[in-house]
Amino acid sequence: MIKSLLMRKAILLLDLGNTHLNWGLCDSASLQIFDTGKVADQAWSDLISATGQLANIQVSIEEIWLCSVAKSTIKESLLSWVTLVDRPIYQARTGQRFNKLVNSYDNYAQLGIDRWLGLVALTTDYGYPALLIDAGSAMTLDYVDAGAVYQGGWIVPGIGKSRQCLSQQTSLLVPDSPLPNSLCIAKNTTAGITAGLLAAAVGTIAQFERQIDKQTEVCKVITGGEGPLLLKYLNSDWQYDPHLVLKGLALYAQANKLVSRNN
């Protein structure tokens, strides 16, 4: 069978954390993300087979864009491997402004790039004022006001990390069982731990919402791996967007690639 010679031009988007790598394939022209996945435990070679980067003639990756909040050793490991792919590689950096979005962090560069890209996609796709929860290994909570000014946020351990901390720092037998379907008062230790972890996360979100000016309607979006679990316990005005950081990285790539190529 003769394969089509028409190849879809794409950008490979990489969102690297300390425990796993999220990847996406983005149409170069439309910025539509048409394929996504996850690579765990630094098994970077799985990325090639997952994306079809070399094997699939219908997808031609033009360049690679990286967003990383991982430890330097993990990041360098990925970069060393990705150089073998022989495509241009660019890294996203937190900025002071993106279109109308303004970063008012005390030191703007200290805002995590994953949080910045999430805010870029949030304000572009959903508008403002807006609340953003990224529920991953750490849960971050961020607020953009009605003038598109990022006002700051909170950082707390995610449910998984809190569970891990209890296991390592106490004599409790912390279960790996799924979290409960309700926030009822528990009558055994296992249920008490799982319900308590969930209640802590939900309560943090509720408290963060109380800090926001209620005079205008606020858009509320949650992302991250623990997002679907938490969404069940939040008000119906919250929306879940699983690929918000990758979307922000695609927007950043489109806005910055001409600058990057000239530097």
* Whole-angstrom distance, CA of residue 66 vs CA of residue 117: 11
Catalytic residue among 46, 86, 114, 237: 114
Residue closest to 16 by CA, chosen among 61, 73, 99: 73
Residue type, 204: T
* Whole-angstrom distance, CA of residue 26 vs CA of residue 28: 6
46 classed as catalytic:
no
| Cα angle: 65, vertex 140, 154; to 5 degrees | 130
Helical axes 113-125 vs 244-261, angle rounded to 10°: 100
Residue type, 185: I
Q: What is the dihedral of CA 234, 241, 116, 42, to 10 degrees?
A: 110
**Cβ neighbours, 10 Å, residue 60:** 14
Q: What tokens were used for 126?
A: 């959903």
* Whole-angstrom distance, CA of residue 170 vs CA of residue 52: 45
Residue closest to 179 by CA, chosen among 247, 237, 226: 226
What is the pairing mode between strands 130-135 and 89-91?
A: unpaired
Residues present in the chain in total: 263
Residues with catalytic function = 114
